[in-house]
Amino acid sequence: MFETGPFVQCPRCRGKSLGILSVGGQTLTRRCKDCRYSHEEHLPEVDKKVIYLDQFAVSELYKTKTNMRRAGAPHEAFWKDCLRLANRAYLRQQVIFPASNVHSDETIVWHSPADLRLAHEMLSGETSFKSTDDVAYEHQLNFARAYLNKAEPPEIAFSIDDIIDGERNKWIPKFHINVRSDFSLFAPGIRADRASAEASLKSLAEMWAKYKPTFDEVLKHELASYGSATKQALAYAIAEADKVVMSNDPASLLNLRTGQIDRFTGLQFMFKRHGVPANQAHLEVLKFFDWPGHQHQPIHKSCAYLFAALAWFIWSAINDSRPVS
pLDDT at res. 324: 46
pLDDT at res. 186: 59
pLDDT at res. 109: 59
Contact of 82 with 65, CB cutoff 8 Å: no
The residues near 26 (Cβ < 8 Å, ≥ 6 apart) are 42, 43, 45, 170, 171
Question: CA angle, corner 61, sides to 57 and 67, nearest 5?
Answer: 140
pLDDT at res. 187: 64
Report which DSSP code applies to 35: T
Contact of 59 with 65, CB cutoff 8 Å: no
pLDDT at res. 325: 47
Residue 167: exposed, middle, or buried by beta-carbon count in 10 A (0-12, 13-18, 19+)?
middle
pLDDT at res. 165: 93
pLDDT at res. 13: 96
pTM value is 0.79
For residues 2 and 20, give the distance between their C-alpha atoms in angstroms, rounded to a whole number: 8
Residuewise pLDDT in 10s, the chain (325 residues): 689 989 999 999 999 999 999 998 899 999 999 999 999 999 999 999 999 998 899 999 999 999 988 878 889 899 999 999 999 999 999 999 998 888 777 666 566 677 888 888 889 999 999 998 899 999 999 999 999 999 999 988 878 998 999 999 999 988 877 777 666 665 666 677 677 777 888 888 888 888 888 899 999 999 999 999 999 999 988 988 888 878 877 766 666 778 899 999 999 999 999 999 999 999 999 999 999 999 999 999 999 999 999 998 887 777 665 444 4
